[in-house]
Amino acid sequence: MRKETQKVLILSLLGLVSVNLAAQQKAKRDTIKSIDEVVVTALGIKRQDRSLGYVAETVKSDELLETQNNNWSQALEGKVAGLKIQTAGAGPLGSSLIKLRGDISMNANENNALIVVDGVPLNNNTTGTGFSAYGAGSKADLPIDYGNGINTINPDDIESITVLKGSTASALYGSRGAAGAVMITTKSGKTKKGKIQVTLNSYSSYDSVLKWPDWQYEYGQGTMQKDTNGNYFYSYGASADGVSTGGTSSAFGPKFAGQYYFQYDPTTEGQSATRQLWQPYKDNIKGFWKTGTTFSNNVAIESSNETTSFRTSLTYLNNEWMMPNTGFDRFNAALSFDHKLSEKLKVGVKFNFNKTKSDNLPATGYSNQSISYFMIFQNPNVDLAWYEPIWKKGKEQVDQIHPFSSFIDNPYLIAYEMLNGVDKNFITGNVNLNYKITKNFDVMVRSGLELNNELRTQKRPWSSANYLQGMYREQHINSMDLNNDVLFTYRNKFNDFDFSASAGGNIRYIEYTMYDYLADGLLKPGVYTMPNGISNITKFAKPSDKQVNSTYALANVSYKNKIFLDLTARNDWSSTLPAQNRSYFYPSVATSFILSDIFNFTSQKFNYWKLRASWSKVGNDTNPYQLIKYYNNSDFAGSVESPATFPNPNLRPNMITNMEAGMDFSFLKNRINYSITAYQSNSKDQIVTIPALWETGYSGRIINAGEIRNRGIEMTLNTFPIKNKNFSWSVNANWSLNRNKILSLPEEFHGEPYTMASVGGVVYYNAFVGGSLGDMYGYGLMYSPDGQVIFGSDGLTGKPTQMKKIGNAYPEWRAGLQNEFRYKGITVSFSFDGQYKGMAYSQSHHKMTEQGKLEHTLIGRENPGGLIVGAGVVQNPDGSFSPNTKGVLVSAYYADYYRRANVETNTFDTSFIKLRDARIAYSFPKSVTEQLKLTDLTLAVFGRNLWMWTKFPLFDPEAATLNDNQITPGVEMGQLPTARTVGVQLNVKF
């Protein structure tokens, strides 16, 4: 064996830590680099991974850029154990929430990870439109996904992402980090000797629908009506064949068998003069959707030397989404500047500007004016082209073409007239100063600012189902989030001990206002201005301000770089809590032991063994204005209305206790790395709203109550099965399991459930002691003692009087698998991820089954008399059971068995496997790049969501509903299709 020499590399990290690493001067070709990597932890402090007593997983920028996406966070899906990206499937901007290790609170808004950019927390809140997803037939609007803070971050500017999963890891961020944190470090200049480097990154991608429902095109519109001869028939309007059957949304009409009927004639906008061929139009839903396109171009300029580093970048992205006339434009500008003013003083500046503009974003949900609603109600015998003129002849902007039902809006009217615009300007930035007071003592001062200015518009034309005389709305949103930090740090070495201690404070101040203007009805059709409103409603926003003052301290001690101990403490004073409970303190402790070094276990086969453990207690406050009674603005000018929720002047902070332990291993010269972690968190004194007696004048009141326990296991495996000079193969895998249990609930419930949320008035997320967050309740089928479905004497299913647990929205486990192959300049990579179990209710499945639109409703249609006998039993007068023999019309059977309230029959397993992304890239050799005077030239093709296996019958098993500003998993309520993406990328550096 070749003799190897070593040298000691002393790595100083921004003056914060110093570590000794063994670096090989010459290593064998199949040796993988040491796993002693540096990660970014709370407050932006960089630490050596071996010193941490908790899990911190890092994702490099390359993984975000390899398969470009409108929202970079979705590239994390399946790559980090215990991480879930929750979206509502509501359009191209796609608001995202990052969840780590499941839910810890009955308040859904408290379960999302904190996003931190360059050490400064990002406000990732979503402002909704104020409407629920279920609004069919009511004079109401719809939820629209305008995106959230994550959308404003440009992936081209991200250097790396570190995921801090437990509250111990993010304890220094206080209540905001109770559910973990995602630390984003943006790029800065890294060139040598002051050389300027220019990077161009350009890509084009194309979207198509990943999965369609199984629509049937064998039978057309109708309700199984027969003519005088006893034959099924169809007639648009009354005709010689019989009464009109053209007003129904059901597809239980005649089979397509070459016959002729009186049908709709688009030229006369009425009944055809002669009978027309009865035929299906199999592209009458899919044909509405088009190939979406995204074009993005980024240019970055950077330079650095011993005293200064500089980087600036500009990015322009244009998206035309799959739904016609929807999409957005996004412009990003970023600036990073670091300068060493003297041997003692450093200054750094980060600035990011995002402008997102759209003339139209799609609405989501189950309501007349959503495209999802149209897809549900479209019949197999209706040609999509009949809708394209939008307006009836001579009635432009006054009366739309919707010939089959006044409740079903024309799809082209939805796309081209019902416009949801946004113009958003979002600025984030920070200035930081580092001053070295003495050799061992320094101070950091940092101020971070986030500003948002947003104008939203909603236009609804005359003749729309919910607004017969149209509507125009403007929402003006302004917010500011200011964070100021100061941190003093002392470090020294005492014999075999390395010691570092820091203490500091933070002041966070938040302002938020939204002015809402509504013109209800338009005097002149097609003119969208406030003065054109028949009646104008102005809602002047009350202020929504909050301030949190904090002090914190941390200490790190290591012994011979083998044993590490971390201690943190923080105290917050929150303006949202009463004076007597406003101050709350919480500590954390973490330790790690490098057992392989302590016991000298290292060898050629066994390289590394680390044991880690941590404990923390984290406080959590609440939203503003819940302590005393505040009046709300009324729809009537100059008036107010009493709040519906009774305040609580004695609220206490919610406290979360977290424990975590795990081990890390490395084998075969670090070619195999394995990690396992177990954790538990207990959340007590949750701040919840419970029902109140209506006699009090309130619908609910706020209290402290309840305890949730959250447990889980995470495993990761990183390997290099093959690695030599020309070829390498790396495999990264992860698996995670999470279970939560409700240990206690408010005494006021007396054993009754606490309804945490509900969707559409059918699915209820009820909390019982002993149950779990995500438990879904609703009405279902009734069963005999031997498990058979009970039917009534009328041949329809028995109707229970009590709801029951249908399932849980969350899976039993999740997993991800990534592979990468490199051969010389060629790189091939692909990533799978999936989940096992979990359930989701589908409103679309209910309605399309009720109407006979799906293939499974073909069963029984050829039965004699069109009757079907439900498989099950009926209960006899003496209490015994006998087989059900009563036949009912096929249309009545499906309408009853899959009725909206029957959550059980419309809820499905959401297990899935997805080919989440894939990429083939070629980096041109130096012989080519040098001739072109380039330092790097890479061309790649990529894809995302290329393939999926699932038994979920609708668009995507990762179903969730956007209700106002809340994303609720486990319910599909007018979900929009998921995109399959393919694209081409070019990266040039010179």
Exposed/middle/buried for residue 273 (C-beta within 10 Å: 0-12, 13-18, 19+)? exposed
- Tens of pLDDT, residue by residue over 332-355, are 999 999 999 999 999 999 999 999
For the cut 60, the answer to whether the pLDDT of residue 910 exceeds it is yes
Q: How confident is residue 67, by pLDDT bands cut at 50, 70 and 90?
A: low
Cα separations (Å) of 966 from 265, 495, 602, 710? 43, 55, 51, 22
Question: Which carries the bigger pLDDT value, residue 69 or residue 24?
Answer: 69
Positive or negative, the CA dihedral 850, 852, 854, 860 is positive
* Cα–Cα distance, 374 to 379 (Å, whole number): 10
For the cut 50, the answer to whether the pLDDT of residue 70 exceeds it is yes
For the cut 70, the answer to whether the pLDDT of residue 32 exceeds it is no
For the cut 70, the answer to whether the pLDDT of residue 653 exceeds it is yes
Question: Which carries the bigger pLDDT value, residue 225 or residue 8?
Answer: 225
Please compute the mean of the pLDDT values over residues 771-779 and round it to a whole number. Answer: 94
Give the pLDDT of residue 755: 87
Exposed/middle/buried for residue 156 (C-beta within 10 Å: 0-12, 13-18, 19+)? buried
Give the pLDDT of residue 29: 35
Exposed/middle/buried for residue 628 (C-beta within 10 Å: 0-12, 13-18, 19+)? exposed
Cα separations (Å) of 192 from 37, 98, 307, 312? 22, 36, 11, 17
Nearest alpha-carbon partner for 483 in 503, 502, 509, 504: 509
For the cut 90, the answer to whether the pLDDT of residue 702 exceeds it is no
Structure tokens at 395: 């009635």
727 phi and psi, to 5 degrees?
Answer: -140, 140
- Tens of pLDDT, residue by residue over 109-136, are 788 898 988 888 888 777 888 888 887 7
Please calculate the CA angle 737-739-744 and round it to the nearest 5 degrees. 165
Give the pLDDT of residue 830: 95
Q: How confident is residue 138, by pLDDT bands cut at 50, 70 and 90?
A: low
Give the pLDDT of residue 28: 36
Nearest alpha-carbon partner for 608 in 618, 617, 599, 619: 599
Q: What is the number of other CB atoms lying within 10 angstroms of the CB of residue 713?
A: 17
Please state which of the ranges 27-36, 707-716, 866-875 shows the lowest mean pLDDT. 27-36
Give the pLDDT of residue 16: 29
Residue type, 198: V
* Cα–Cα distance, 782 to 789 (Å, whole number): 6
- Helix residue spans in 898-957 (DSSP H): 926-929
Please compute the mean of the pLDDT values over residues 228-238 and round it to a whole number. Answer: 92
Give 186-215 as a DSSP string. Answer: E-----STT--EEEEEEEEEEEEES----B
Mean pLDDT of the chain: 89
- Tens of pLDDT, residue by residue over 428-487, are 999 999 999 999 999 999 999 999 999 999 999 999 999 999 999 999 999 999 999 999
Structure tokens at 236: 């648009």
CB half-sphere exposure, 156, CA atoms < 13 A: 28
Give the pLDDT of residue 685: 87
Structure tokens at 637: 């000018």
Q: What is the number of other CB atoms lying within 10 angstroms of the CB of residue 907?
A: 24
Nearest alpha-carbon partner for 42 in 594, 556, 592: 556
Q: What is the number of other CB atoms lying within 10 angstroms of the CB of residue 625?
A: 16
Q: How confident is residue 493, by pLDDT bands cut at 50, 70 and 90?
A: very high
Structure tokens at 368: 């007349």
- Tens of pLDDT, residue by residue over 172-222, are 777 778 888 898 989 988 776 778 999 999 999 999 999 999 999 999 999
Q: Model-level pTM?
A: 0.90
Nearest alpha-carbon partner for 594 in 2, 9, 35, 28: 35
- Give the distance from CA 791 to its chain's centroid: 41
Give the pLDDT of residue 747: 78
- Looking at the chain, the number of H-run helices and the number of E-run strands are 7, 57
Give the pLDDT of residue 795: 95
For the cut 50, the answer to whether the pLDDT of residue 19 exceeds it is no
Q: How far apart are the first and last CA of the chain?
A: 41
Positive or negative, the CA dihedral 879, 880, 886, 888 is positive
Contact 915, 948 (CB under 8 A): yes
645 forms beta bridges with 700
**Which residues lie below 8 Å from residue 70, measured CB to CB, with a gap of 6+?**
92, 93, 94, 151, 294, 317, 319
Give the pLDDT of residue 698: 82
Q: How confident is residue 704, by pLDDT bands cut at 50, 70 and 90?
A: confident
Exposed/middle/buried for residue 169 (C-beta within 10 Å: 0-12, 13-18, 19+)? buried
* Cα–Cα distance, 722 to 730 (Å, whole number): 7
* Cα–Cα distance, 856 to 267 (Å, whole number): 35
For the cut 60, the answer to whether the pLDDT of residue 14 exceeds it is no
- Tens of pLDDT, residue by residue over 299-314, are 999 998 888 999 999 9
* Cα–Cα distance, 118 to 45 (Å, whole number): 10
Please compute the mean of the pLDDT values over residues 269-281 and round it to a whole number. Answer: 96
Contact 762, 846 (CB under 8 A): no
Give the pLDDT of residue 10: 29
Tell me the pairing of strands 97-100 and 276-277. unpaired
